[in-house]
Amino acid sequence: MKYRKLGNCGVKVSVISIGSWLTFGGGVDNNSGKEILHYAFDKGINLFDTADVYNFGEAEKFLGRNLKRFRRQDLVIATKCFGKMSANINDRGLSRKHVIESAEKSLRNLKTDYIDLLQCHRYDHETPLEETCRAFNTLIEQGKILYWGISEWSREEIENAVNLCVKFNLHKPVCNQPQYNLLSRGIESNGVLDYCRNNGIGLIVWSPLAQGLLTGKYNKKKSEKDSRLNDKKNNVFIKSIATEENLAKTAELVKIAEENGISASNLALAWCLRHETISSTITSATKLKQLKDNINASEIQLSDEVINKLDLIF
């Protein structure tokens, strides 16, 4: 496993990390999930990402139960806050009240004394940015979190937060978690990638395999019965991108992967990791074989020729 610094901060994370959206605490049974987590750790993965809103705390609780066999200092545990957690009008957003209370609850769910990385799941347009930044700074000063970051913020929103932290001598966000894959390349054109690269903000990208579409498994005449596309409860996202055009592009991806003796998943992940600014790619797995394949991507270095071929397709 290879590791990269999380932006300009000192901590290093595995380039392949484990996420828990739609899997742990609901989508995967306890025994399978436990097997996946333990295998990931044994193969060098140290970053485990979740959020308070994932299955309303059950994903955090799952990690809390199943990561306790490992030494805490060997783990980088990341979670998020922002989402609506209950009917309580204040149990959401990035107000000081909710950020502090959410962090306390996540600490209990994760069964840990501190959280390595707490991220703003989205931008809160109803709360003053200074209030949010000061709330995260308080948690760091209290030792309840070590770093903070953001997710799906615009370039301007990130810049405003950084400038505010500099102005008031607060701890700055160290990372950003945007969606990034061959089919979703918005951060290349909206200024987010460049701003993060130029300001030492690491990227932990989510959905690097586009909900599994870039694995090529949905190009088969008959996809697996237990695949996400066939999961009526959780297939709303994959259905929106599983278009004929995208499936045709994925078929070309599979061909290029085969020409290079690697899987389509490996190719898609290695393509993301061609950017040194990307500290880690968040992957999820419902089966151990998926994780075993994904881990191989950490050792793959793509040639300029392969990258250019992909750019022509995507």
Known catalytic residues are 54
250 neighbors 213 (Cβ within 8 angstroms): yes
Those residues with Cβ within 8 angstroms of residue 15's Cβ, 6 or more apart along the chain or in another chain: 1, 2, 3, 4, 273, 278, 279, 280, 281, 297, 298
Q: Which of 40, 34, 112 is nearest to 73 (CA)?
A: 112
What one-character DSSP code corresponds to residue 181?
B
95 neighbors 88 (Cβ within 8 angstroms): no
22 neighbors 206 (Cβ within 8 angstroms): no
Q: Are strands 115-120 and 175-176 parallel, antiparallel or unpaired?
A: unpaired
- Give the Cα separation of 219 and 213 in Å (integer): 8
Angle at 115 between CA 109 and CA 119, to 5 degrees: 100
Based on its alpha-carbon atoms, the radius of gyration of the chain, rounded to whole angstroms, reads 19
Q: Residue 179: count other Cβ atoms within 10 Å of its Cβ.
A: 17
202 forms bridges with which residues in the sheet?
175
Residue showing tokens 């899997």: 23
